[in-house]
Amino acid sequence: MPQFYSHLGPSMTSEYPEADARVEEHYRSLLAARYTWMMGGLDSCLNGARELLASTGALEAGAGSVLDLGCGPGFHARALAASGKRVVAVDNSAALLRELSDVCAGVGAGAVVPIQAELSDTERFASFGPFKTILCVGDTLTHLRSLYVVDELIDDLSRVLSPGGLLILEFREQPRDLSGQDAVLTLRAERDRIMQCVLHFEPECVWITDVVHEWADGKWHVMKSSYPKLRLSAARILSRAAAAGLQVHSDSRRAGRRVLVLTR
Ligand SMILES: C[S@@+](CC[C@H](N)C(=O)[O-])C[C@H]1O[C@@H](n2cnc3c(N)ncnc32)[C@H](O)[C@@H]1O
C-alpha cells in the first residue's frame, strides 16, 4: 500500500479480519443516517427496488419465504412483502433495521422478519428456509471481508435455496483503476448537504473515503470515514456458483452494476 494510504489499513490481498468492524463502524458513524438520502430518497429507492425485482422475476406470484441479505432500509423487503411474500431481512446495522421497520410498516404484520446478524453467520437465518428467493443486492457482497468469504457464502446460500428458487446477486465489478480527479466522485449535493467519496484502488479492494459537508448553526460540519470494498469479478462468482450446483437464469447490467440471477 502506498505510504499516503497506510493509515487506512493493510492490503486485502489476503484475509483482512478488521474489514467487518471497519464497515460496521462506517455505517454506524456516517452512512446509515444518510444512506436513503445518498441513494436519491425513499420514493426513488422504492421504485428502483421494484424495477429490479420485477425484471428478475422475484415479484411473481407464489408463496414462499425470501431472504434479503444486507437488506438496509428495506426497499426490496417492502416490495416483496407487498406482493404477499414473507421476507427474512438480515443486516448488522441496528439503525438501518430501525429504518426498515418504518419503511415496511403497513405491509402486513409479520410479513418482514428483521434479524440483526452478520451475512456470513448463515446459521442465524438458515432455519427460516429453504428460501424461494435469496437477494444480496445493492453492492452488499462487496462489503464482505475477503473473496474467500464470498465463496463460502455462495456455497451456504446454495444449500438454503429451494429447488427452482432464485439467488439474485447485484454488485459493482470495479475492473478499472481510477486515479487523480477521476477517483473523486460527488454522490449527491444539495444546498445544506454535500456527499463525496474518494477512491483508492488496490488489487483486491477499493478503499472508499466518504466525505460529508453539512450546513448547520451557521457553519459547515465535515465528517470523513473510510472502509474497504472488495473488487468482485462475475467470472469468479459464476464459477463458484456452478461448483455449488447453481445455473445461470440471467446475467445483465443495471446502472453500472452486474445482476446475476442463479437458480437451483
Ligand atoms: C450498500 S448497502 C445495500 C442495502 C440494500 N440492499 C440496498 O440495495 O439498498 C449494504 C448493506 O449491507 C449491510 N452490511 C454490510 N456488511 C455487512 C455484514 N458483514 N453483515 C451484515 N450486514 C452487512 C450494511 O449495513 C448495509 O445495510
Walking along the chain (264 residues) 10 residues at a time, the average pLDDT comes out as 40 64 96 98 98 93 88 97 95 98 89 96 94 96 94 97 96 94 98 98 95 98 96 96 97 95 96
Amino acid in position 57: G
Look up the CATH architecture of domain 15-174+231-263: 3-Layer(aba) Sandwich (3.40)
Query: Which phi and psi angles does 49 have, rounded to 5°?
Result: -65, -45
Q: Ligand 1: which residue has its CA nearest to atom 3?
A: 138
Residue 106's pLDDT is 87
Burial class (CB in 10 A: 0-12, 13-18, 19+), 228: buried
The sign one gets for the Cα dihedral 237, 240, 243, 245 is negative
Sheet of 86-91, strand order:
112-116, 86-91, 65-69, 131-136, 161-171, 257-263, 247-254
Task: Measure 221 CA to ligand 1 centroid, in angstroms.
Answer: 26
In angstroms, the CA 194 to CA 222 distance is 10
Residue 62's pLDDT is 73
Q: Are 10 and 16 in contact (CB under 8 A)?
A: yes
Task: Copy the grid coordinates of residue 246.
Answer: 447453481
- Probe ligand 1: pick from 24, 143, 206, max atoms within 8 Å of CB? 143
Residue 58's pLDDT is 93
Task: Measure 219 CA to ligand 1 centroid, in angstroms.
Answer: 32
Residue 34's pLDDT is 98
Q: Ligand 1: which residue has its CA nearest to atom 9?
A: 138
Q: Are 100 and 74 in contact (CB under 8 A)?
A: yes
Task: Measure 71 CA to ligand 1 centroid, in angstroms.
Answer: 6
- Probe ligand 1: pick from 51, 91, 101, 146, max atoms within 8 Å of CB? 91
Contacts of 81 (CB under 8 A, 6+ apart): 87, 104, 107, 108, 111, 112
Chain center to CA of 55: 18
Residue 76's pLDDT is 98
Q: Are 166 and 137 in contact (CB under 8 A)?
A: no
Q: Which atom of ligand 1 is nearest to the CA of 27?
A: 25
Residue 15's pLDDT is 63
Residue 63's pLDDT is 72
Q: Which atom of ligand 1 is nearest to the CA of 49?
A: 8
Please give the angle made by the CA atoms of 134, 209 and 199, to the nearest 5 degrees.
85
Task: Measure 72 CA to ligand 1 centroid, in angstroms.
Answer: 5
Q: Which atom of ligand 1 is nearest to the CA of 70?
A: 12
Contacts of 34 (CB under 8 A, 6+ apart): 193, 195, 212
Peptide bond preceding 130: is omega within 30 degrees of 0, i.e. cis? yes
For CATH 3.40.50.150, the residue range(s) in the chain are: 15-174+231-263
- The residues that bridge with 151 in the sheet, in sequence order, are none
Tell me how far apart the terminal alpha carbons of the chain are, to the nearest angstrom. Answer: 40
Q: Are 246 and 146 in contact (CB under 8 A)?
A: no
Q: Ligand 1: which residue has its CA nearest to atom 20?
A: 118
Name residues contacting ligand 1 (CB within 6 A): 20, 23, 27, 70-72, 75, 91-93, 96, 118-119, 137-140, 143
- Probe ligand 1: pick from 92, 104, 118, 206, max atoms within 8 Å of CB? 92
In angstroms, the CA 247 to CA 164 distance is 10
